[in-house]
Structure 1
Amino acid sequence: MDVTVPTTEASNKSNLHCPFISLNTDGAGNLFLTIVMSIEMIVGLPSNTVALWIFWYRMKLWKAYTLFLFNLVLADFLLIISVPFRIDTHQRGENWVFGSVWCRVNHFMLTVNRSASIAFMTVVALHRYFKVVHPQNCISRMTRTHACLLVCLIWTTVIALSIPLLATDLLHEHGNIVLCRSFSAYKEVPLLLRGQYVAFILEFFLPWLLLLYCSVRITCFLRQRQMSGQKKVRRAIVAVGVISLVFTVCFMPGVITGLGALYVQKVHPTDCASYWFFTQGFKLCIAFTYLNSTLDPVIYCFSSSEFRDVVKSSIDHICLAKTFTPVNSTSSNQ
């Protein structure tokens, strides 16, 4: 695609980097995001609602990792509340119609969801790791009280790191189009958002390296001890593996394309064609980031045997009810 490079005069009138490029709203990309996000909402809303119901009403034993998974569900609901507004915006060609305040709140909730999801996925994987490799460690024997304190610390940290989004005007008005963006759009990044950019990058790479380390260490440990045949141990391996896979698929594409956009902006500021390529890629990769709320119920099933047992018993109960209802109806008619 041919990309028009903005003149210096046009660039000076805008607070966006490569304004002509930043305002180039890709119709196919917006259609793709609308369809994918709608599917994620259709699947994610009922699955997470069922998960919340199971945790709240059916779980009898609230262990530490159960509490971590429950908070992962809560984080997903922040995304479910926010995504419909992004769907509407992409249908309008990225024209934001909900005002400055809700633009900030929307980005705040999306960022809190991403950060909290990463944090609780990492904590669940680390808890599984210590249970297998260091069973006598205090983390392996974490009480529910200690788990509650850790949960409060995570939420406090995540919210504190996301507050700059509430304190920064994220709207960019250009003619009839109002953009609501927080990443890779500014000519000069506001000071409050620079820390947000750093957090966006670090909160992916540090947990990702931890997850890889846990996966490798668990595998090596089990091979040395010849324990891979034990059912409980196999579950731990699968749980950490599933978390690592979901983590990589959902968050890596957005981080890579975002870093690419920042690199071009700083090192090759006049290369607007490359900048457009990475910013469009980043926009499309957001769909993978939102995918985490849809895939998290898979993590619940692999990480918690209690959760899995409740799901199985509920399905069996429904199947039995459907099987015996016609028989009972026939008997009563006779």
Structure 2
Amino acid sequence: MTPNSTEHHCNTTHELMASVLPPVVIIEMLLGLPGNVVALYVFCKYMKSWRTNVTFLFNLILSDFLLLLSLPFRIDNFVRGETWIFGDAWCRINLFMLAVNRSASIAFMTAVAFDRYFKVVHPHHKTNHISSKQAAGVACFIWATVIALRIPLLTNNLLKAGENYSRCRSFSNYEDVSPGILLHYIVFILEFFVTLMLLIFCSVRITCVLRSRPRLKDSKKGQRAIRTVLVIVGVFVFCFFPSIGTGLTVLILKSLGEKYCNTYNLTTELFSMSLAFTYLNSALDPVIYCFSSSLFRNYLKRTLNGMIQLQVSK
């Protein structure tokens, strides 16, 4: 059974995706964009000292913001039942933007968690004393790495047209996979499992250290550190596990042949639907900003208090 024969015998309709996914993604975009715009505004206007944590948070905000800007084209694609009307070049750019900013968001979430880890577990480590320029250098390295790993999305033909469809996909079930796209698949899988192990490691180590140091455990620094990492782990698993779980299931069913067509078709549609969870990450990340940055948290408190006082005065 080849990938081509799987496509021929196991045709998916995507009717559920066309009806459910667009309104869900629109809501995520409408919720996520204001939160990230406010975060960018606060960090750019009020941040006086660009410490390591601030640098990583700012780049996390930037990656989420850029991903959300790419969503209107995917929404149009979903509404049309996976019919892409913007041409081959923009198909590649759009999928490249989504993949790069997804990976960058994951990378900077991990960087924020590790920053908390070093401050609690290894408070005297030289990592806690790197300069703003060095932190910016780390951020640039992260961006360069994720961009380099996603270059195949720009160099491979991702738009497949037929008599009744024009599909723009980075994950395809109807063609032999090129080495570049295979790399895209591998990165998609590894970035989840490697990051999950790193985040669990940070959580466990921070928890163990806080239990062994009662004074630190009761301090604001210790409480904020464990809350930040736990929120990151929760958001990460909730948003990215559905796509990994369904994606791996699709690959397994694909290798088993056409006798599992019904299950394969259902799982393929579930994978498409799981993209909504991936995009939700960019809408939920402002929660991480609240736990990680007292500046952002205090700005929101002042704004809400001002709005309440204004309503009371009326």
Q: TM-score interval w.r.t. the shorter chain?
A: over 0.9
Tell me the CA shift for residue 306 of structure 1.
1.9
Matched residue of 2:82: which SS?
Answer: coil
Which residue is 1:241 aligned to?
230
Whole-Å separation in 1 of the counterparts to 2:16 and 2:93 = 27
- Contact 1:184 1:261 (C-alpha < 8 Å) held by counterparts: no
Residue type of the partner of 2:226? I
The structure 2 residue matched to 1:150, chosen from 125, 130, 138, is: 138
Whole-Å separation in 2 of the counterparts to 1:104 and 1:270 = 33
Q: Deviations 1:173-211 (Å, cap 9, x if unpaired)?
A: 121211111214234111211111111111111011100
For residues 286-325 of structure 1, the aligned pairs below 5 Å read 286-324=275-313
For residues 121-270 of structure 1, the aligned pairs below 5 Å read 121-226=109-214, 227-268=216-257
Residue type of the partner of 1:307? F
Whole-Å separation in 1 of the counterparts to 2:238 and 2:170 = 22
Tell me the CA shift for residue 318 of structure 1.
3.6
Which residue is 2:34 aligned to?
46
- Contact 2:15 2:81 (C-alpha < 8 Å) held by counterparts: yes
Whole-Å separation in 2 of the counterparts to 1:288 and 1:277 = 17
Task: Give yes or no for the alignment of 1:80 onto 2:65.
Answer: no
Residue type of the partner of 1:301? C
Whole-Å separation in 2 of the counterparts to 1:139 and 1:114 = 26
Residue type of the partner of 1:51? A
Which residue is 1:29 aligned to?
17
- Contact 1:58 1:310 (C-alpha < 8 Å) held by counterparts: no
Of all paired residues, the percent bearing the same amino acid is 49
- Contact 2:9 2:258 (C-alpha < 8 Å) held by counterparts: no
Q: Deviations 1:94-128 (Å, cap 9, x if unpaired)?
A: 11111111111111001011100000000000100
Q: Deviations 1:231-259 (Å, cap 9, x if unpaired)?
A: 21101010000000000011111011111
- Contact 2:17 2:81 (C-alpha < 8 Å) held by counterparts: no
| Runs of 4 or more consecutive aligned structure 1 residues displaced over 6 Å after TM superposition | none
Matched residue of 2:202: which SS?
Answer: helix
Which residue is 2:85 aligned to?
97
Gaps in structure 1 of 5+ consecutive residues = 1-7, 327-334
- Contact 1:184 1:258 (C-alpha < 8 Å) held by counterparts: no
Q: Deviations 1:14-50 (Å, cap 9, x if unpaired)?
A: 957423534x323222211111101001111111111
Matched residue of 1:93: which SS?
Answer: coil
* CA separation of 1:194 and 1:317: change in aligned 2, threshold 3 A: same
Tell me the CA shift for residue 323 of structure 1.
4.4
Tell me the CA shift for residue 278 of structure 1.
2.0
- Contact 1:18 1:272 (C-alpha < 8 Å) held by counterparts: no
- Contact 1:34 1:91 (C-alpha < 8 Å) held by counterparts: yes
Residue type of the partner of 1:300? Y
- Contact 1:251 1:289 (C-alpha < 8 Å) held by counterparts: yes
Which residue is 1:331 aligned to?
none
Per the normalisation by structure 2, the TM-score is 0.94
The structure 1 residue matched to 2:57, chosen from 38, 49, 69, is: 69
Which structure has more relative contact order (CA 8 Å, sep 6+)? It is 2
What's the C-alpha RMSD, in Å, of the aligned pairs? 1.8
Tell me the CA shift for residue 321 of structure 1.
4.4
Whole-Å separation in 2 of the counterparts to 1:284 and 1:269 = 22
Whole-Å separation in 2 of the counterparts to 1:181 and 1:15 = 15
Which residue is 1:329 aligned to?
none
- Contact 2:250 2:264 (C-alpha < 8 Å) held by counterparts: yes
Tell me the CA shift for residue 277 of structure 1.
2.3
Matched residue of 1:258: which SS?
Answer: helix
Whole-Å separation in 1 of the counterparts to 2:6 and 2:129 = 51
* CA separation of 1:16 and 1:82: change in aligned 2, threshold 3 A: farther
Matched residue of 2:155: which SS?
Answer: coil
Which residue is 2:272 aligned to?
283
Whole-Å separation in 2 of the counterparts to 1:177 and 1:55 = 44
Question: Number of residue pairs matched?
Answer: 313
Structure showing greater Rg: 1
Task: Give yes or no for the alignment of 1:272 onto 2:272.
Answer: no
